[in-house]
Amino acid sequence: FCTMLKYKSEWEGRIYIEVDRFFPSSKTCSNCLHQLDNLSLDIRSWQCPKCQTVHDRDINAAMNIRDEGLRLLAGGHLANASRERVRPSKGTAFRGKVG
């Protein structure tokens, strides 16, 4: 899937960024960036113990992946995304540059 997505992105003149597969997108609060130690797969929604925000697991993960992609696109430093600051990464990613 990723190979096909990369090919199609380059074909359309887009930039392809791959977030590290071990990036903790599901268990990191997209509001305050608090990270849970563990979160079993059967839990579909959870409440952040720090800011009390209630998260749908999939929507929260999607927001975190978006923010991580924007951070990587900005050069890997703290950057302003569409909402607030974006966290520093714990992993590496592939950045394809379209020329």
Residue 95 main-chain phi, psi, to 5 deg: -120, 115
| 45 contacts: CB under 8 Å, gap ≥ 6 | 54, 55, 56, 57
**Model pLDDT for residues 20-55, shown as the tens digit of each residue:** 999 999 999 999 999 999 999 999 999 999 999 999
> How far is C-alpha 21 from the chain's CA centre?
10
For residues 30 and 46, the answer to whether their CB atoms sit within 8 Å is no
Map tokens 């302003």 to a residue: 80
Please give the pLDDT value at position 76.
63
